[in-house]
Structure 1
Amino acid sequence: MPEVELTLEWPDGGRSRLYSPSTVILEHLAPGQTLSVAELRTRGTLALRQASERVRARYGFACTRADEEERRLLEQASRFGEQELVGIGSA
């Protein structure tokens, strides 16, 4: 299953990586996009859950790393206002 890593540029100028075990994330988050923190949270959560379910369908178990990435994404997003902007780039 192809993995994907994206770079997130946070409103304070910090950067982080977002890992997905599946390319399904690219249906929700694409390099070059700029999203509000609220939209990133919504799309990112959905994408990572779908990616984890794709792993479950293929291997018989969910992807715990995708679950951890979701937790980390939500934690990072909580530091900013809902309407602040986050840039998405390729890793």
Structure 2
Amino acid sequence: MPEMRFVVRWPDDTVTRCYSPSLVVRDYLEAGRSYPLAIFMSLSATALNIGSERVREKYGFACSAAMDQLQILQDTAMRFADADDPQVLVEAFEP
């Protein structure tokens, strides 16, 4: 299964290198584009859940690394819950 990483920059300029068990994340996010926080989280959750399900279909179990990554994104996003129009930049995709 082709895994990949994607790099995001949060509203406070911190950077997170994220894991996806599938290239499906490229169907939902675009490198070089900023997203409102809620939209970024929704798209990321969809992509990571699809990736996890693809692992389940192939190996018989969900991808815990994808779910761990989603939890990290959710925890980080909470820091900006009260910010005015927080944006998340998808900086790059890495193989």
TM-score between the two structures when normalised by the length of structure 2: 0.90
Aligned length: 91
1:89 aligned residue: 91
- RMSD of aligned Cα (Å): 1.2
Mapped pair 1:24 → 2:24: yes
Amino acid aligned to 2:58: R
- CA apart distance, 1:82: 7.0
Moved over 2 A (4+): none
Identity %: 36
Compared CA separation, residues 87 and 58, structure 1 to 2 (3 A)? same
- CA apart distance, 1:83: 2.5
Query: Unaligned stretches of 5+ in structure 1?
Result: none
Mapped to 2, the partners of 1:2 and 1:30 lie a distance apart of 18
Compared CA separation, residues 12 and 64, structure 1 to 2 (3 A)? same
